[in-house]
Amino acid sequence: MTNDPETTYIVACLESKLFPERPRPNPSTGLEWDRFFDLLVKNRLTGLFYVLSRAQRSVCPDFILDRLRLEHYAWMLYGDRCAEKVKVALSALHTAGIQVIVLKGWAWIQTLYGGDYSQRYCEDIDLLIRPADIDAVERILLNLGFLGADETWEGYTRRFMNCRAFLIPLQLQDSRMFSVGLHWGLIHTPSYDPRQIDIPSLFERTHSIRVAGVDVLELSVEDQITYACLHLGLHHEYDPSLFRYYELAAVILQEKSALDWDAVLKTAVEWKCVIPAQRVLQYTDTLWQNVVPSVVIAKANKIKPANRERFIATWQKLFGDKVSFSVLLNWLTLPGFWNRIKMAFQDVIPSPAYMRRRYGQAKSEPVLTLYFRRFFRSFHFIFHRYSLRKLSKKKSSTIVAGEIIAKPLQEENKVT
């Protein structure tokens, strides 16, 4: 954590929100308020701090409050449009008798922010469904006007991933889209293993909440904590944005007296996310003491992670910022040898139908030219990267299998 005065003050303000009984912090005289505001934007905290600043006028000067107000109105208008799409999608699924678990953002808007989506920016809603309901849910979303994210081959996400994004325009001036992230498993980074998490048991531990006026399900608090650690570590690679850790801390404190920490750690072992649990819980305690009991951190640190976890953690540390190596990790960790071969083939050589959609070519024209164009662009991208490294006198690197498709894969098969 950066120990500059602006970040320290933001963390202290969040602590006063988490622990209302503690003394309110006072800003130091040397605080750079423009940097303070920029940090709030970076950490996606402007909506929360607008509400906090209105309740406690000493939090920031009036000119910062005015800027926070503008951010608040922008988030509120955007959230209005998103809420409309959320209500339409959830109502249709509820009417069809399909149970869905709302994950993270839109569930926490209800339980942590009192339903006020102007405090929590959300560009999508993540829904977890039973694998048996995939076909029915996809049909419902398509009938509502949502478009499934394009796949290199039809059924790619079913075979190799645990989720697919469904998009619909928000009809705003900037042409933004709203996305339903449809999940039938919790983990897809680095790869999806349907045996890793028992989804039916997960549904048995849920409880009911209302999102956008519709009855849905939410993970048990223990599963929420484990999933938050897992998601932060594997999907976001320990993104330091403060809003993520504040929400985890708020979830913990909300149910502190009834929380079963042994169940949290047991689930972390079963889901093979011991290392994310250790690191995220430790960092949360670094930010705000007494959120995570010290005995829990001690217990977590004594758990020995599985070899697979150690391998993934080492890979992330060495190659975390390199897209090509992320693709290679997906191939290496996907269950089943032939599945890995099929996934690699379908990544490298997309279907003719996909190529025509991507490049806007008519069926009467030869598709082979599109494949040549794709590979030419890929090799041009690799050569360009290599030239830049050479010019900047960085260490030379060997081009590995997988880099051929690194650039195209940044745009293809994206999941929310």
pLDDT digits (tens, 9 = 90+) for 244-281: 999 999 999 998 888 999 999 999 999 999 999 999 99
Classify residue 66 by burial, with Cβ atoms within 10 Å: 0-12, 13-18, 19+. exposed
283/343 same-domain check: no
Q: 290 and 231 share a domain?
A: yes
DSSP class of 179: E
On the CB side of 195, how many CA atoms lie within 13 Å of its CA? 3
Q: Does residue 348 belong to any structural domain of this protein?
A: yes
Of 305, 324, 341, which marks where a domain is finished? 305
Helix-strand-coil percent breakdown of the chain, rounded to 5? Answer: 55, 10, 35
Among the residues of 19-61, which ranges form H helices? 33-42, 46-55
- Are 328 and 405 in a shared domain? yes
Q: What is the pLDDT of residue 375?
A: 77
Is residue 10 situated within a structural domain?
A: yes
Q: Which amino acid is at 286?
A: T
397 with 327, same domain: the answer is yes
Neighbours of 81 (CB within 10 A): 15
Whole-angstrom Cα distance, residue 69 to residue 78? 14
For 371, half-sphere exposure in the C-beta direction (CA atoms, 13 angstrom radius) is 12
Percent above pLDDT 90 for the chain: 54
| pLDDT range class, residue 362, cuts 50, 70, 90 | low
Distance CA 49, CA 69 (A): 10
Q: Is the pLDDT reported for residue 415 higher than 90?
A: no
Note down the domain range covering 375: 309-409
In the predicted structure, residue 361 carries a pLDDT above the cut 80 = no
- Structural domains of the chain, count: 3
In a domain, 107, yes or no: no
Quick one: which of 319, 378, 385, 321 has its CA closest to 350?
Answer: 378
Same domain, 362 and 395: yes
> What pLDDT is stored for residue 253 in this prediction?
94
Question: Would you state the pLDDT for residue 237?
Answer: 87
Q: Tell which of 305, 333, 357 closes a domain.
A: 305
Question: Is 45 a residue whose pLDDT tops 80?
Answer: yes
> Torsion over CA of 231, 236, 241 and 244, rounded to 10 degrees?
-10
Q: For residue 288, what are its two tokens?
A: 């705000």
102-114 pLDDT, tens digit per residue, is 999 999 999 999 9
Q: Which tokens belong to 42?
A: 């970076």
